[in-house]
Every structure is written in C-alpha cells, then in structure tokens.
Chain A
Amino acid sequence: MSSRYNIGDILGGGFLIVVGLWFAVAAYKYNIGTLLNMGPGYFPRMVGVVTILIGLAIVLTSRRGGAELAMSWRAFGAIAASIVVFGVLLVPFGLIPATFAATCAAAYADPASRPVGTLILAAILSVAMSVIFIYALSLPLVAIRGPF
C-alpha cells in the first residue's frame, strides 16, 4: 500500500464532510433566524459547516504513513449480526431465543470458539438472562413465545 495518503484520514474526513453537509443542508428546512433571535436551524448549520471544514482539513493534511488499517472483519460481522438477530427475534419470539441466537452469532467472532462450548454457553446465558431480567427485575419481556 504505497498510496500518497493515509486511507483512514481520507475515508474518515470524507465521512465528516458528508455528515456535516447533510446537517448543514437539512438545517435550512428549519427556521435559521438571526443572531439576535436564533431559530432551530442556526446552531446546527453553524456546526455542520465547521464539521465540513474539519473534514476537509483532515483530508488535505493527510500524508502517507501511519499504521496500516487493522480491521477484523470476522469480529465486526459476527458482533453486528449478533445485535441484528437479537433485535429481530426479541419481540416475535421472546428473550430466550433472542439471547440464544445472539450468543451463537457473537461467539463466532472468536476463531477459538468451539461449537459445543458455544451451544452450552448460549443455553446457560439465555436461561440466566431470562431469570435475571424477567423474574428478578420484572422487565416487560416474554421469555419465549410462538410467532402467532
């Protein structure tokens, strides 16, 4: 990788520019107002513009070098998937299936995890979480139910 720039700076700075731009433009939908009587859009527009400038500065001052980007795709994908399945399963199926599936997905992040150990952990966790949160703390959740 011998590009002229640090890829993290470019992408991160670019992200700031995009987000700043979105807020600055969206702010015009609201009343901007004057300095004396600021509307709801004034401050966000101001900060949005500053964000764009900072993003530009990061991109423009970027130089080659720095550490290589160390992204662990496996952990990233597994943990993200784990949150997704939890959110999808929780309401229609209940806490036990959601925790069970989320644990299995999360465990995949670590290459050292073994299927049998993961299943045991998932079983223990899903029961423990239900006992703690539904019976002890009485959160309005259902342990398990069918998708009627």
Chain B
Amino acid sequence: MDTLTNVFDGLAVALSWHNLAYCFFGVFVGTIVGVLPGIGALATISLLLPITFYMDPGSAIIMLAGVYYGAEYGGSTSSILLNLPGGPASAVTCLDGYPMSRQGRAGVALFSTTIASFIGGTLGIIAMIVLSPSIVALAIAFGPEDYFAVMLLGLIAASTITRGNPLKGLGMVCLGVLLGGVGVDINSGVQRFDLGFLQLAEGISIVAIAMGFFGVSEIIASVMDVRGQPVVQKVTLASMRPTRDETMRSIAPTLRGSGLGGLFGALPGTGPTIASFLSYALEKRVARDPGKFGKGAIEGITAPEAANNAAVQTAFIPTLTLGIPGSATMAIMMGALMIHGIEPGPGLMRDHPDIFWGLVGSFWVGNIMLVILNIPMIGLWVRLLQIPYTILYPCIVCLICIGVYSVNNSVFDIGVVLIAGIVGYVLRVFDFEPAPLIIGFILGPMMEENLRRAMVLSRGDPLVLVQSPISATVLAVTVGLLGWALLSWARNRQSGETVAAIGGEHV
C-alpha cells in the first residue's frame, strides 16, 4: 500500500497549478516538435535546458519529460499525413499510416494511434510504478565496481545497438568520455585539458555540446531534406471514428506493442525506435494475413505507436532508479537534475520523493493532456505542418545561439556550439551517430569516479571487477553483447546485406 500512497502524493504534486502549467507547456512543445520533421525531442530538450536553471528541479524535469513523451504522440501525425516521420520512432508508422491516409481514413489513423499511444504510455507508467521500488531495493547492494560495470554496459549497449558499424558507435562513446573529462578533476582539483581557457574550468557546457551535436548538425542535415508537402485531406472529428471491426483488431496489437515497448524502453541502448520497429515486425509475423501490411492495416500503426510510447515511459526506470541513462535524451534529462545538485540514482526516491513520484504523477496528467491535444485539437497540428522549414530553421538557429549564450552569459559557449556543430555534422556525414557521444559525455565522469573509488576500496586490485557477483555478471553480458554486435556486423557486411533499417536510435 506504500506505493499507492506515494502515487497519490505524486499526483498531488503534479496537480499543483504551476506543475500543471509546466507539464502542459512541455507536452505542447513536445507535440509541436514531434509533428515537425527536422527537429527532434533531444534538440528541443537541450534548447529548454537553460530555462530550467530558474525553475525548481521537480517542475524542470516534469516539463522536459513532457517534451520527450509529447514528441512521440506528435511524431505519428506527420507520418500519417505526409509520409514523413516526425521522429525516428515514428518512421515505421508511415508504412501503414500513409496508405490509410491515401484511402481517406487519415482521421481513423490519427485517432487510433493516439489511443494506442495513450494505452502504451499508461502501461509503461504502471510498469515504472511497480518495478522502480524493487530496483532501488536491489541497487542498494551495488558497490562502486558494480556501478562501473553497469555504466560500461550502458555505454557499450548504446553504441553497438545501432545500424551500421558498431566500431563507430564505440568511437563516439570514447570521444564523449574524453570530452566529459575536461575541467577540474574532483579528486585532486587539477585543471585538465582546458587548453588554457578559464571558461573550461567547470567542464564543457552540456547545453553547448548537446545543441551543437544535435541541434546544429540536425539543422544542417535537414535543410535540404525537409520539404513541405500539401496535406492530402482535411481531418474532421467525425472522420476519426474507427469502425467496430477496426477497434477489435487494434486491441491485441496495442497490448503486444506496449509489452514489447515497455521491455525495450527499460533496457540500455534500445529504446522507442527499436521497440516500434520490432513490434511492427511482430504484428506482421503473428497476423493471419501478412499481405495486408503496407496497404493500410490498422495493426501496423497501433502496435508501433503503443510500443514507442510505452518505451519512452519505461526509459525513465534505469535513469531515475540507478542513475544510468539508457539513451542520449535520458542523459540530458539527468544532466538537468544534476545541475540542480540532485543525483539521480537509488537515493532519489528516498531523498526526493516529491520529485520522483511527482514526475510519475505528471506522466499520467501529461498523457491525458496529450489525448486532448491530439484528438479535438488535431486541426492545429495539421495547419502547423504547412509552415515551411525555410521559415522554421532560422528561428531555431537563433534560439540555439541565444539559449546557449544565456547559460553562462558567455560568447565562448557560442563558439563551443559552433565547433560541436561543425564536428558533429562532418562526423554525421561520415556515418558516425552523435547519440553515443552524449551518453559518454554524461557517464564518463561518473565511471571515472566509481572506478577510482572501487580501486581505492579494493587496494588497487582490478580483480574486484570480476569478484563481485553483480559486476562479474554485468561484465559478462557486456562482453557478450560486444562480441555479438561485432560478429553480426562482420557477417552482415560479408554477405553484403544492409542491416534492417533501424534508424538513429537513442533519440
């Protein structure tokens, strides 16, 4: 019953006026960037980071989280109407969503994906409520060597479970860890790698790194790609009603999608994108008539949308209970808490129950807001899709510049954004994904600290990493994962196949 009390306390926090307002702002902005192709949740969250410095940490995380799951709701809208995914996790929704739209059933598609998203999100929240306390209880037994091992697993998983060359992901992680080490060393007070710049004493600004590697490089990459298209049809409320048959056919896929999404959301490295692709594949396999997929099958949109929304909720489990982010977005979210001096981890639920349970409460509130935003107010988003990117992206560039300047009132940080943007874009052209770098940037300093602590406690005996049962198990899994990723990449390349089109994960 303890948990139930906590949930109600959390709801009370989430229902306070200012938190309701921040939550609404978050999901509203999230829906906008979800609907609009060419700008993602991660870039937006890093754009909003400077604002959160002036907020209390609970409200800050409620707002940023709203952007994250709001974007998953919005993402399906442009997939269905324009055949252009609003974000990577909604790419698979194009396959059957756009054909439905061509058949004049865009309304039904939008309605079903919203409901499926809501169910997926709700089940994800329930999983979070049920599982988090037991994970925290488990995590209390963790020593520094165990944390080091789990973080290593997180880094390896995040960098190898992508499309293409896992070595490139690993390289980006290392780059992130190295950049994360710039600044004062906490143990000795020595200034490291600052190139003589006083501005680097406190480390490279996470806002500047995230905005450069994601915001700027994303804009450069999408200026030429994102072209507005006319929306094919008007969407009215009356056109949204699915038939009885469509409703019945959606139930099982929605539940299966939620389960798959909840699982992959909580695992490190996997996330909403992989969850949505896998649940689409699963539906195609279990369907009696797989031939109808790709021609407007409702199962093909409800399952992946339930999956990606369940995944964005369960992604918070490892982040908040262990302090280990499974994706770049989660890493930024953690950064937002750490700026306020709050360390996400097993202590969070005990020391700041209002933040933890308030956030959980806000998930529900936010999901209900999103249903309202995406069903009665769908016309607004359809109109939003008609704004040309030509107008949009200069606004985003200016917002990035002002935002990053305002963090420390320093022009130096604008320079960091510039360099990060240039390097990020060039590496993107070379097929190096930026997401693992961000995770490395956040986790690197924490890994260093835990490793140093573990070595002191074990009197410099590296064997402690394999003597602790938790650490040994996790390291074995890590090695297995690394081997599997490299082998399957080598094999795929040998046979000249391209790995399944699982696009940029971690976002």
Contact = CB atoms under 8 A, between A and B. Distances in A.
Interface string B432-454: 10000000000010011001100
B417 interface: yes
A50 B431 contact: no
B154 to A, nearest CB: 15
Given A9-B430, A125-B394, A54 B171 contact: yes
B220 A26 contact: no
B460 A37 contact: yes
B456 A37 contact: yes
A82 B181 contact: no
Contacts of B399: 129
B406 interface: yes
Contacts of A35: 455, 460, 462
Contact of B220 (A67, A72, A133, A141): A72
B170 interface: yes
Interface string B412-438: 001101100110011101111000000
A84 interface: yes
A131 to B, nearest CB: 12
A45 B235 CA distance: 58
B216 interface: yes
B391 interface: yes
B429 A43 contact: no
Contacts of B381: none
A83 B417 contact: yes
Interface in A78-125: 79-80, 82-84, 86-87, 90-91, 95, 98-99, 102-103, 106-107, 109-110, 112-113, 117, 121-122, 125
Interface in B273-328: none
Nearest to B169: A54
B190 A87 contact: no
A83 to B, nearest CB: 5
B491 interface: no
Contacts of A107: 390, 394
Most interface-central of A69, A75, A137 (chain B CB within 10 A) = A75
Contacts of A117: 390
Contact of A84 (B390, B418, B444): B418
A80 B190 contact: no
Determine chain A's interface SS by DSSP, over half rule: helix
A58 B165 contact: yes
A54 B167 contact: yes
A98 to B, nearest CB: 8
Given A95-B402, A107-B390, A125-B395, A57 B167 contact: yes
A114 B13 CA distance: 49
Nearest to A85: B401
With a 10 A CB-CB cut-off, give which of A8, A43, A66, A75 has the most chain B CB atoms: A43
Interface stretch (B172-180, B338-346, B468-476): B172-180
A102 B404 CA distance: 15
A31 to B, nearest CB: 7
Interface string B188-221: 1010110000000000000000000000100111
A44 B171 contact: no
Contacts of B168: 12, 58
B427 A40 contact: no
B220 A19 contact: no
A112 to B, nearest CB: 6
Contact of B402 (A43, A84, A129): A129
B181 A76 contact: no
B397 A44 contact: no
Nearest to B413: A87
Most buried by A among B219, B406, B444, B452: B452
Contacts of B397: 79, 82-83, 86, 102-103, 106
B459 A26 contact: no
A29 to B, nearest CB: 9
Contacts of B16: none
A30 B190 contact: yes
B405 interface: yes
A139 interface: yes
B499 interface: no
Given A12-B171, A80-B422, A125 B398 contact: yes
A71 interface: yes
Interface in A23-60: 23, 26, 30-31, 34-44, 47-48, 50-51, 54-55, 57-58
B353 to A, nearest CB: 31
Contact of A121 (B170, B185, B394, B411): B394
Contacts of A11: 430
Contact of B391 (A23, A67, A121, A140): A121
Given A47-B178, A54-B167, A83 B401 contact: yes
A142 B432 CA distance: 39
B18 interface: no
Contacts of B452: 38, 42-43
A76 B417 CA distance: 14
A12 to B, nearest CB: 4
Contacts of B174: 16, 20, 47, 50-51, 54
The 4 tightest CB contacts between A and B, nearest first, are: A36-B460, A8-B430, A40-B185, A12-B430
Given A9-B431, A12-B427, A16-B171, 13 more contacts: A19-B178, A35-B462, A43-B447, A47-B181, A55-B171, A69-B429, A75-B224, A99-B402, A103-B394, A110-B223, A112-B390, A141-B405, A141-B406
